[in-house]
Chain A
Amino acid sequence: MADAHILENVVCPFCGCLCDDLRLTIENDVIVQCERGCALGKAKFLHYREDRMLSSTLRQGSSQIEISLETAIDHAARILVEARRPLIYGLSSTENDAHREAYRLAEYIGAVVDNTSSVCHGPSIIGTQASGEPMASLAEVRNRADLVIYWGANPLYAHPRHVNRFVRAPGEYIRDPKAERQMWVVDVRESVTSRIANRSLIITPGSDLEVIGTLRALVRGHTVDVASVGGVSLDTLCELANAMKRAKYGVLFYGLGLTQSRGRHNNIDAAIRLVQDLNSFTKWSMLPMRGHYNVTGANKTSTWTTGYPYAVDYSRGYPRYQPGEYTAVDLLRRREVDALLNVAADPAAHFPRDAIRGLKSIPIINLDPKRNLTSLIASVNIPTAIAGIECDGAVARMDGLPLYLKKIVEPPEGILPDREVLRMIFDRVKEVSDN
């Protein structure tokens, strides 16, 4: 116990909840204990030294050979300068200053820059662009909400402390959350979350839009002349619509079950319209269940820099926006891009097969702290520090609250934050393209 200390109020860089009440014990510059976090957060803090890339590598044939950081930067810069249509992708699991460097580089080389919201809550943003969005804040949920609905979300798995911290916890005006706050879950199957809810509605997969449309009609007082919609009886839907109108302060949390199922952005648009309608009767807000801890931040930084939250193309020297066209999966499926700079994401693990074929056919520069499926196929790997553990930075919670991630321990020797590696690539790109 030569050098042991405890850090309080640590922000957890795992999911969009950004719980900031964690307590870490550090011994000899190693995190040895994590209290108050969920299983996911604890795993991140306690296993941060596992599966690390500790040196830059260059792919030669089927093997990866270790190279110096300087050589890796040079290779990366040359790939980007030679590319005619480069793509910069990822960004949701790193801090905001890394994003800012990525946009500067994208602008300079005329790249497309896209973040992971194009495969998660991109449709939510398109819905907002159609209708706006009455957004909730998590403190106000805890303080005031008497009816909370999770739609197409399973927080006990994906955001394990969400229910406990915001819904089942007492707030200023909800002293007894069990008695005073109802929790409903709408999903296509039973889940661990639906089992602890006051009510659970199982709907037919792909029927969200019809169900929401019916709820809108019922909320507006129309009669609906069918026995059931989406496998749910009209009586049950009436009950839900009435509960929504009767609530004093309602909040709808929605997940990928709504954004990525049939209807996609139309589902979200309808949900937004439902919540907007409800505000003529009582107070309602909604919030997307953002997954990666800083995907909200990626949308924000992209928006203040370019005007657009994701899917931004700089090829004409100014930002253009078009989801479906400048989104990573679509570009790869069309074989439109000829180089990828991947930052803090694992597209090889998460993209559809067709897009992965596209990935395998182009040079990839991969910045990540850890080995993953993308690092296996990358042409150049550059390991980076873990934001919130080995370097600091600002991030945004799912409700938009900005929080500051502290640096807790030193990164492995020679490993730099994403932002510094991106700055080095930018400087090298300038040198290479000036010659």
Chain B
Amino acid sequence: MSNEILLKNCSLFDPVQGIDGETVDIAIRDGRIVESVGSKATIINLHHRLVMPGGVDLHSHILGSKIGMARTMMPEYHRTDPVPRTDTTRAGIGAIVPSSFVIGYRYAQMGYTTVIEPAVPALKALNVWEELADVPHIDVGLLPMFSNSMITYHYLQNDDLSGLAAYIAWILRKTGGMGVKVVNPGGTYAWAHGMNVRELDTTIPDWDLTPRKIIRGLVEAVESLGLPHPVHLHPNNLGKVGNVETTIAQLEAVRDIKGHNGRKHIIHLTHISFDSLGMMDEGVPEWKYVSSGGLELAEYANKNDHFTVDLGQITFGPAITMTGDGPFQFSLYQMTHNKWSNLSVDVELPGGAGIVPYIYNPRSPANAVQWAIALEYALSIDDVWRCVMTTDSPNAGPFTQYPLVLSWLMSREQRKIWADKIHPFAKERSTLMDIEREWSFYDVAISTRAAPARILGLQNKGHLGVGADADVAVYDIVPVKIDLAKNPDRILSAFSTSFLTLKRGEVVAKNGVLAGDGPRQVHTIHPQLDPALWNRINHELEDLINRFYVHSFHNYAVPSRYRENMEQRSVIQSERISP
């Protein structure tokens, strides 16, 4: 059978199966991992090279109007990195905000095979699905934003949790989402009034609601639906010195909520570089008093297991910030006086998302401290399964910098080299330099594969057990022969370009050379509601959408023509929610 492959002599790191560098053979048939294959299978001898499941990125801005606006604003970035067409690949641009084709190519070249777009305005999802057709090689999932939506507020204010859950279910089904994103709950809404809301119990404009009530309501709704991915939280008070206190308060605010089916993790905290800023004793919330809050958050995490995080690691150099946090973006504009765009989005993000280019300067004391935060956290927590490596691409740096982040996590020597180059605040205002821990390949495989897949609820991703998707990354190093901690440059070269990337059993990249488009899917969640509740929500949303928006309820959904070729729909049973 020609669709059978045997990868021989893999040095496999597969934490889901507990495999820590043992030499194994991997059998693939019809795009999936199987027990064994026949004698006619294509044999690829990997000679003990490092093998991991395909990388899973649970937070990277790759689609939709925000990145489109960022690309439009930044031709000066693009022209530094032209990407010519080849016989198998399309042309485009790379650098910080690559064009759609190039995003797929570069992830595949790094051995990543699944990427989650974490901030979709649901009413613009059609645009996202169109772009998806031009993002090759990677599986994708979409997280629509709910925390500043007037419809969310309508249900919360009426204490109608069934209605809120049904609204979420309707959006996921009609626009093809897989989870719930929360961004500065109430604060982005307040930005429609030129204001922000920073604290949990501040009442937001126009509504009798607080961030606490919004976050709790959304977490409860997600757990009542039984969504595989918990609420994905970008907290209030982003980018403010001392905000690790607010962040912990927000985590604390939902700690008592029971996860469905007994699951422990009910919230995912994203990009901690921006929400775990500490403050010196006797200080005030100004940048000169900033310190790392990474250790404080890690200590909280080691005592409380209801949440997971991703890093949003600063990588230095040019970046572009884009968040659904309009007031934060405006404050960043006031600080930098760089370009600033704001995208108001009908009803769902009335104050609007923001986009500001930013260059992380190694000489900046604030940026140096931010650099230390996420590393300090990742190297201080007991459980790597709750810690995912990201750069919140392209906010803290583009995803192509992941190998650099891994080099910091895996090599104390590399951390020293960098700490000596950057502002001394990195050493003085964090404990980073005292930490001896170095991540192993096993830790890397957890943080970049197994953990994100588990947090997302993607059961066939992040491992290479029988039945898993044959998404495989092979790197050109033999683990037993090299001490990477002493050779940080080899970390960079090995993880920058995979030796082989397989997507569903097809080789899509070999030493950086790409094949044509491989098989790929968009993973969506399709909650089944009690028919009476489904009926109710359709009637109510027709009224609400026609009242709040200036386009029709009937033109809101993403038509199947844009979805049917790519959508992998997982039906979940949510009928127990009372109508």
Binds B, one of A135-143, A215-223, A357-365, A412-420: A135-143
Bound together, the chains give a CA A317 to CA B340 distance in angstroms of 32
- List chain A residues, Cβ under 8 A from B100: 304-305
Contact with A along B351-376 (1 / 0, CB 8 A): 11001100000000000000000000
Which residues of B lie under 8 Å from residue A317 when comparing CB positions? 84-85, 91
> Contacts A20-B555, A143-B548, A319-B82; is A305 near B92 (CB within 8 Å)?
yes
Q: Is there an interface contact between A100 and B134, defined as CB atoms closer than 8 Å?
A: yes
A339 nearest CB across to chain B (Å): 20
Residue of A nearest to B150 (CB): A172
Supposing A143-B350, A143-B548, A283-B193 touch, asked if A319 and B91 sit within 8 A by C-beta, the answer is yes
Task: Check if A282 is an interface residue, CB within 8 A of chain B.
Answer: yes
Among candidates A107, A130, A282, A320, residue contacting B194 with C-beta atoms closer than 8 Å = A282
What are the residues of chain A within 8 A of B551 when measuring CB–CB? 18, 20, 139, 397, 401, 403
- Interface residue B224 (Cβ < 8 Å from any Cβ of A): no
Task: Report how many residues on chain B are interfacial, defined by Cβ distance under 8 Å.
Answer: 66
By a CB distance below 8 angstroms, the chain A residues around B193 are 248-249, 283
A125 within 8 A of B: yes
Q: Choose the segment among A74-82, A306-314, A327-335 that binds chain B (4+ C-beta atoms closer than 8 Å).
A: A306-314
Q: A125-B72, A282-B194 are in contact. Are A135 and B126 (CB under 8 A)?
A: no
Main secondary structure of the interface of A (DSSP, over half): mixed
Please choose the segment from B73-81, B245-253, B454-462, B516-524 that sits at the chain A interface, where 4 or more of its residues have CB less than 8 A away.
B73-81
Q: Is the CB of A404 within 8 A of B72?
A: no
* Residue of B75, B342, B550 touching A129 (CB-CB under 8 A): B75
Are B92 and A129 within 8 A (Cβ)? no
Nearest Cβ distance between residue A298 and chain B, in whole angstroms? 12
Q: Which of A283, A318, A403 contacts B91 (CB 8 A)?
A: A318
Q: Please state if B340 and A276 are interface contacts (CB–CB under 8 Å).
A: yes
In Å, the complex CA distance between A140 and B97 comes to 28
Q: Is the CB of A139 within 8 A of B347?
A: yes
Checking A18, A282, A304 against B99 with a beta-carbon cut-off of 8 angstroms, the contacting residue is A304
Q: Is B192 in contact with A140, judged by CB distance below 8 angstroms?
A: yes
Residue of chain B at shortest CB distance from A100: B134
Question: Which residues of B sit under 8 angstroms from A143, Cβ to Cβ?
Answer: 347, 350, 548
Min Cβ gap B135→A in Å is 9
Which residues of A are found within 8 Å of B82, using beta-carbon distances? 316, 318-320
Q: Are B340 and A304 in contact (CB under 8 A)?
A: no
Chain B residues whose CB sits within 8 angstroms of the CB of A401 once the complex forms? 123-124, 346, 551
- Pick from A20, A129, A318: contact of B93, CB under 8 Å: A318
Please measure, in the bound complex, the distance between the C-alpha atom of A249 and the C-alpha atom of B191, giving whole angstroms.
Answer: 10
In the bound assembly, the distance between CA atoms of A306 and B97 in angstroms comes to 11
1/0 contact string of B55-75 vs chain A (CB within 8 Å): 000000000010011011111
Tell whether, in the assembled complex, residue A9 and residue B73 are in contact, meaning their CB atoms are under 8 Å apart. no
Q: In the complex, what residue of chain A is closest to B547 when comparing beta carbons? A: A172
- Closest A-chain residue to B101, C-beta based? A305
Tell me, in angstroms, the Cα distance from A394 to B561 when the chains sit together: 10
Given that A9-B554, A318-B91, A320-B82 are contacting pairs, would A129 and B72 also be in contact in the complex, using a CB cutoff of 8 Å?
yes
List A contacts of B554 (CB < 8 A): 8-9
Contact call B550/A142, Cβ cutoff below 8 A: yes
Known A-B contacts A304-B68, A307-B92, A394-B562; the reply to A283 vs B355 at CB < 8 A is no
Which chain A residues lie closer than 8 Å to B549 at the CB level?
139
The bracket for how many chain A residues form the interface is: 35 or more
B194 and A140 form a contact (CB under 8 A) = no
> A279 within 8 Å of B by Cβ?
yes
Given A137-B345, A276-B333, A319-B82: A309 touches B350 (CB 8 Å cut-off)? no
When each residue 169-189 of chain A gets 1 if its CB lies under 8 Å from chain B and 0 otherwise, what string results? 000110000000000000000
Q: Within the assembled complex, what's the spacing in Å between the Cα atoms of A137 and B131?
A: 21
Say if the beta carbon of A299 comes within 8 Å of chain B: yes
Q: What are the residues of chain B within 8 A of A282 when measuring CB–CB?
A: 194
Q: Does A400 contact B (CB under 8 A)?
A: yes
Contact digits for A291-302, partner B, Cβ 8 Å, 1 yes 0 no: 000000001110
For A130, list chain B residues within 8 Å (CB). Answer: 339
B182-238 contacts to A, CB under 8 A, are: 191-194, 206
- Can you list 8 pairs linking A and B with CB atoms under 8 Å apart? A132-B339, A132-B340, A137-B344, A172-B547, A301-B130, A306-B92, A306-B99, A394-B130
Query: Lowest 10 A-B CB distances belong to which pairs?
Result: A139-B346, A132-B339, A307-B93, A318-B82, A134-B342, A132-B341, A283-B194, A317-B84, A402-B126, A307-B78
Which residues does B use to contact A, with CB under 8 Å? Answer: 65, 68-69, 71-75, 78-79, 82-85, 90-93, 97-101, 123-124, 126-127, 130-131, 133-134, 150, 191-194, 206, 330, 333-334, 338-347, 350-352, 355-356, 547-552, 554-555, 559, 561-562
Additional 15 contacts, C-beta under 8 A, given A137-B352, A306-B92:
A18-B551, A96-B130, A129-B72, A129-B74, A132-B340, A140-B347, A143-B347, A283-B191, A285-B352, A303-B99, A304-B131, A305-B134, A318-B92, A394-B127, A401-B551
